[in-house]
Amino acid sequence: MKVAIYCRLSEEDKNKLSKEDDSESIQNQKSILIEYAVQKGWEIYNIYSDDDYTGSDRNRPAFNQLLKDAERHKFDIVLCKTQSRFTRELEIVEKYIHGLFPIWNIRFVSIVDNADTENKGNKKARQINGLINEWYLEDMSENIKSVLTNKRRNGVHIGAFALYGYKKDPNQKGHLIIDEESAQVVREVFTLFSQGMGKSAIARYLNEKGIPNPTEYKRLHGLRYKQPVTKQSTLWRYFAVADMLMNEIYIGNMVQGKYGSVSYKSKKNKPIPKEQWIRVEGTHEPIIDMNLWNTVQQMIKQKAKPFSNGEIGIFAKKVRCMNCGYVMRSTKAHDRRYLKCSTKNACKDACIGSFISVAVLEEYVLSELKKITEKYLDMEELEKNVVFNQKLDEKKQNLKVQLKEYQAKMINCSTGIKTLYLDKVKGIITEDDFIELSADLHKDKSTYENLINELSLQIAAIEQKQINTASKKEQLEQYLSLEHLTHDIVNQLIDYITVGNRDPETKEIPIKINWKF
């Protein structure tokens, strides 16, 4: 019998001599499992080891390699110290230990908690272990979240990366100290802005002086950094300067909790509303003094309103450069308003930039809006839309019929699984027969569940289309005789607009409007 030994450790051992060495705990696991395998007379096929991975991580490299080898039946037994070393998820227990392993003719053994799939009597114990491990994961996630929240409220820095201008204090965990070399650049940025230099001009100035941006600076100094390094990522950009000028960490305040996890089973994060961010004052030495900070914030506030009367521009934050994707900024020349790419001329490798008059863009948007309005107010077009809606309704009814069929088939699969289980309990069929017969039913049930979800989404999309088509006439009628746009109207109708460079021959500027309807 060939055995595959699997070991896992979730925390790096302090006694590890180097990154290449296995931790002491992994070594202990291997010793115990090798001794057990030798006593049983099993031939060791391979030792799979994942160090510094949690039991809920499905991307463990050795774990996934073991599963591939198991499917190819390169061994007969999977041996672990405990079931939780293999996985802490009940779903994985059911999928592999109780589902696929028996089909692949693989035996699972964990020596501490006596889990052994050859022993039919302890299946419930294995399932209970899986359930307890699942609860452990959820409780651990909540406990960690609670601990991290408490630390953030106490002003402790949580994170793998220190903000540009700071570095982690080697003598006090969770504390930031000033990195004088990069802090000098931060001070210069704030000073230049307070003296009237714009954000794009500051980015261009830093690039011309050859000052590496935060990502490149960390790379050059052997520090951890988040973004991948490319030619463009080494340059200062408008938004890097803009974000720096509004970050309270530079005045000694710790602002954290901007993102939160979607689920304890997922590494994906979601943004948290600004009012829920955790803000603690005076946690570390400031780089920027309060007088300079207040001056800069007041100037930013004034610059946010481009018109002398305090009104916000009609296309504010709605127009993007077609070349680089950045939001175009408002500028004024000869009493006329223009929109230009914010990254243009930031350096020699920067975006070539887009440029358009606000009046020209307003005229174009009004013209396009009028075309759309007339189209949907035209009776012939409305009749076509009625026919279109009838076709949509017919398609929706067909989908609903299919949906009912799949729902009935899924119920039949569930009933079949229950019947097989009862037959197994009564002794009519064996455990092996139950696993083999129920595997196909589980597979069919999963297929029908996916089809049901897909059909439900299609039906919802059709219903939304019908609602949108019916309401377009009412929505657009009020804009038929519109002569001027306002910021509110633009915000209501348009998601965003992209503007490209003027064609040197036709003199036309490419414009694409992404409507909200």
Domain ranges in the chain?
Answer: 2-153, 166-303, 306-517
**The Cα angle at residue 276 between residues 240 and 169, in degrees rounded to 5:** 55
CATH number for the domain formed by residue range(s) 2-153: 3.40.50.1390
pLDDT digits (tens, 9 = 90+) for 30-59: 888 898 898 889 999 999 998 877 777 788
* Confidence check: pLDDT of 17 > 50: no
Q: What is the DSSP string of 241-302?
A: HHHHHT-GGGGT-EEE--EEES-TT---EEEPPGGGSEEESSSS--SS-HHHHHHHHHHHHH
Tell me if residue 497 falls in helix, strand or coil.
strand
Handedness of CA 483, 489, 492, 497 (dihedral sign): positive
Domains 2-153 and 166-303 share a fold: no
Q: How many helices (H) and strands (E) does the chain have?
A: 15, 17
**The Cα angle at residue 367 between residues 362 and 368, in degrees rounded to 5:** 100
pLDDT digits (tens, 9 = 90+) for 275-332: 888 899 999 999 999 999 999 998 887 665 444 444 567 888 788 888 877 788 888 8
pLDDT digits (tens, 9 = 90+) for 405-428: 888 888 888 888 888 888 887 888
Average pLDDT, the chain: 80
Fold held by 166-303: Hect, E3 ligase catalytic domain fold (3.90.1750)
- Kind and range of the H or E element at 23? none
* Confidence check: pLDDT of 380 > 50: no
Between 441 and 76, the higher pLDDT residue:
76
Between 91 and 137, the higher pLDDT residue:
91
